[in-house]
Amino acid sequence: EVISDYIQVKKRGKSFLAVCPFHPDKNPSMSISQEKQVYHCFSCGASGNVFRFLQEYEKITFQEAVIKLAEKAGIKIHSASLKPDVSNEISLLYEINKKAARFFYNNLKTLTGKEKEFVYSFLKKRNISLRNVIEFGLGYAHNNWQSLLDYFREENEFKLEDVEKAGLIKARDNDSNDNSPLTGYYDRFRGRLIFPVFNESGKVVAFGGRKLFEEDVTAKFINSPESKVYNKSRILYGLNFSKDGIRAKDFVILVEGYMDFISLYKSGVKNVVASSGTALTEDQIKLISRYTKNIVLIYDSDFAGIKAAKRGIELILEASLDLSIVSLPEGEDPDSYINKFGKDKFESEIFHKKSVIEFIASIYEKENKLNTVNEKTSFIHEIISYIVKIPDKIKQTFYIKELSQKYNLYESDLNDELRNQKNSSKPVKKDINLKDRELKTYKTKSSNKNQIPALELELIELFLNADPDTLFFLFEKVNLGLITNKYVLEIMRKFNDDYANEGEINITKITNYFQDEKILSILTYCATERYHIGLDSTDSKYGLLSNSDKIKPDYKKFALQIISQFRQMEIEKEIESLDVENDLTRIIELRKEKKKLQAELK
């Protein structure tokens, strides 16, 4: 239920399948067990429980994940009484960013003299009031090399290496030509209006700085580098402010810059987000789709803006979202337009939004490229290249119908071209064997030294699925001395301890107990179904353990088979340790026992 709020999931047997959000995944590789409350990606290895998913997806701390899930369940937790968590790098960076945001904000509020006059005159020109400064947490970086650096040194709360990891200060590069100090650290942001960048939960993850001084020869805008808490492709500026407005209106207005967002939002347009000057990404579209399926894209009318808009169109259509486009008059952006003409005029532009077909046609018309047969053909081909991206066939049909009616073309001809483009863009499919896929996952995740034998994975899977009688049998019979992988051994010891003390194996408790990434990956791998589109997990007897909607597994039989195989391994080890001349009788006995065990397995 929680994971489906973030990504699309599909029921498959007792579990769910999803396209993994933690790596570029085209086919569903993530298996989610609602029963065991864990997930595992069989491609990249991402795994854990619901807390872990929220931590990784939203880049929040465990404490914040607990609070968020409690709120979802209607349970109130008084987080104010909790001390800041700085136990890991993510929570540490959040605290550093929070301190820096407060520092920049205080700078702006306490400016004096000519510096105040200069900075506040800039704010006035951009129609930014004191109320806006407070609402959006805007700040100011003093025009010197180490204002923020000195602040963190005086506070002495964080290591400067960690402040550097947050992207707030930089180490001196001897090869640089930016007139920075000769040694040590210096401030990244100097003489700039500061925009704190918040994640969806309202945590400061990064900063954007707009240059104020003409003598500054660096870029007009600079942004924080990526960090453990800031991935620019997964952040939409202003979403923490506008998510309720987006839900209420059921569409989002997508703009480019910080000031575009602020000017629209403060004017009463509450369903807006900004891509922060970066090209629109798949992750940003997924983020939008959690709040609405309807996007209004506002683009800059220059060449770069049109190019970025076209790429954004492709991604939005591929995500099967509904898209409209607004073209503002030449030379205008959302910030300048709403400040000149006001909210009503801006909303009128939104009302007269264009479809994808109308937008592309307007570009061709503007460039006077819809005159000859070749130009018109190129236009139709380009339109269909967008339509082919849409996964929903019914939507494709409506677009084809619109194109047919608007340009007096036969739908059958357009559909032929659609099929041609589909066929030319189809990737070559390779046959994938499920067992090979699973084996590859573990070969790439571990060295040969730590390779996990299939039998040991099967043992874990059986412990997690078996009925009480079989668990008792396993508890009595399994010899931990035969476990060769150190991670499996740790898991099995935990299983034994929990069974001895509580009489059960609870996967949720166990995943909360372990912190080691490799152990968690092994656990969730064994706890989730190995489903993949086009593959059948029932070709393995152990795949049947968790895929038991229609077939009731004989756990005791599987347990006997596993114990038998472990015993055969034990026999082999003992035979290797014996001397043929002196221990021949014992060797013959062991070989007979092994042969009998093999016959029983057949």
CB atoms within 10 A of CB 424: 8
Q: What is the pLDDT of residue 535?
A: 33
Instruction: Say whether pLDDT at 551 is over 70.
Output: no
Report the sign of the C-alpha dihedral through residues 28, 33, 39, 40, in that order: negative
Q: Which residues contact 416 (CB under 8 A, 6 or more apart)?
A: none
Segment 556-571, tens digit of pLDDT: 888 888 888 888 888 8
Using CA atoms, how far residue 600 sits from 236, 456, 564, 574, in Å, is: 61, 20, 9, 21
Amino acid residing at 163: V
Q: What does the pLDDT look like over 438-452, one tens digit per residue?
A: 433 444 343 333 478
Could you give all domains of the chain from N- to C-terminal order, each with its CATH number? 3-81 (3.90.580.10), 89-230 (3.90.980.10), 239-425 (3.40.1360.10), 434-601 (no CATH)
CB atoms within 10 A of CB 51: 21
pLDDT(489) > 60: yes
Q: What is the mean pLDDT of residues 66-75?
A: 75
Instruction: Please give the residue that has the higher pLDDT: either 162 or 468.
Output: 162
Average pLDDT over residues 363-379: 90
Q: What is the phi/psi pair of residue 569, to 5°?
A: -60, -40
pLDDT tier at 210 (50, 70, 90 boundaries)? very high
How far the first Cα of the chain sits from its last, in Å, is 43
Q: Is 40 helix (H, G, I), strand (E, B) or coil?
A: strand
Q: What is the pLDDT of residue 76?
A: 67
Question: What does the alpha-carbon distance between residue 112 and residue 482 come to, in Å, rounded to a whole number?
Answer: 74
Q: Among the ranges 58-62, 318-322, 430-434, 531-535, which has the highest mean pLDDT value?
A: 318-322
Residue 114: burial class (beta carbons within 10 Å; 0-12, 13-18, 19+): exposed
Q: What pLDDT does residue 79 have? A: 54
**Which pLDDT score is estimated for 175?**
53
Average pLDDT score over the chain: 83
Q: What is the mean pLDDT of residues 91-96?
A: 92
Q: Are 297 and 309 in contact (CB under 8 A)?
A: yes
277 or 527: which leads in pLDDT: 527
Average pLDDT, stretch 151-156? 94
- Return the pLDDT at 114: 92
pLDDT, tens digit, for every residue of 309-337?
888 899 999 888 999 999 888 888 999 99
The token pair that represents 88 in the structure block: 């890991």
Q: Is the pLDDT of residue 36 over 90?
A: no
Side-chain half-sphere CA neighbours of 59 within 13 A: 23
Q: What is the pTM of this model?
A: 0.64
5-34 per-position pLDDT tens digit = 777 888 877 788 888 888 767 778 888 888
